[in-house]
Amino acid sequence: MKKTISIHLMGVNFLVEETAYELIEQYLKRLKDSFQHSSDQKEICEDVELRIAELASEKVTDKKHVVTFSEMKEILDTLGDPEDFEGSANPSDKKQDQSDFKAKRRLYRDTENKTIAGVCS
């Protein structure tokens, strides 16, 4: 016998095993932590929570009302690790990546359409 908990994911009610609830709770906490410096943190977390609700609703049928731990683990594995999400990196890392890109850019003279030694082409 396992305990179940009634939860709401984006307004949809689900019965989940207690261990599955703990898994969701940890996942959403890691998600918030990885986007703590982003101005879109709330929107991103809501979108991910909505996707979890969509995938969990596929697991529920007329005869089966509870989302199990293994099903929830499968759902979260499908979504991926929050630390791997694009844009969750530290903002200072992004600035350095952009400056590296600019440093590699080179300018060349256009020898075909030269006006004032190819500078004004």
pLDDT value of position 20: 92
pLDDT value of position 14: 87
Report pTM.
Answer: 0.65
pLDDT value of position 23: 93
Could you write out the DSSP letters of every residue in the chain? Answer: ---EEEEEETTEEEEEEHHHHHHHHHHHHHHHHHTTT-TTHHHHHHHHHHHHHHHHHHH--SS--EE-HHHHHHHHHHH--GGGSTT-S-HHHHHHHHHHHHHH------SSS-STTTT--
Q: Are strands 66-67 and 12-17 parallel, antiparallel or unpaired?
A: parallel
Q: What is the pLDDT of residues 16-60, one digit of tens each?
A: 999 999 999 999 999 888 888 888 888 888 888 899 999 988 888
pLDDT value of position 96: 52
Paired with 17 in beta bridges are 4
Q: What is the pLDDT of residues 59-108, one digit of tens each?
A: 888 888 899 899 999 999 988 888 777 655 455 555 555 555 555 666 66
